A = this chain, B = another copy of it.
Amino acid sequence: MSDGRMAQVYRGESLLFLTDEQLRQGIEAMFFAYRGFTADPDRILGEMAYGRAHHRAIHFINRVSGTTVNNLLAILGVTKQSLNRVLRTLIAEGLVESRVGTIDKRERHLFLTEAGHELETRLSDAQRARMRAAFRDAGPEAVAGFKQVLEAMMDSDMRNAYAKMRGNTT
């Protein structure tokens, strides 16, 4: 696997981007950029008793309003115990509402309350501001490439979840 180190370089300019050196740059760019990506919401959350896990839950409850716990579990890719701890505090503090399902009463459907929406807005405004600046600086073509590469980096199940997210505005 560590082969092909230099092999591709000489096949032409068009394959320069597959050099191990280029790949390493991509890896490190991902590492540093992800820190920037989470920095602003983290700062806001740090002021309260919440963490990144709460942000993720709030984000996707907002995105897929009325989602069941099981569905949220699948999106977030954590265990129900882990999610439950976060959900419990969010419900207790009145940011999330859990309604028993009408068709299937075993299910709980999750919604943001008014307070929940407020926090969600604060968090995504901060995160979007940085993303917007980055998008603006890089330009539309770069943004298209950005999304293409990210999508290609996902597992098939993540890609499914992401695809679902893309269509759904409910």
Q: Which of B14, B32, B140, B147 lies in contact with A161, CB distance below 8 A?
A: B32
A24 CA to B167 CA, complexed, in Å: 12
Contact with B along A41-65 (1 / 0, CB 8 A): 0000000000000001001000100
Question: Which residues of chain B have C-beta atoms less than 8 A from A142's C-beta?
Answer: 144-146, 148-149
Interface residues of A (CB under 8 A from B): 1-2, 14, 16-18, 20-37, 39, 56, 59, 63, 77, 121, 124-155, 158-159, 161-162, 165-166, 169
B25 touches A166 (CB 8 A): yes
A24 touches B146 (CB 8 A): no
A155 touches B36 (CB 8 A): yes
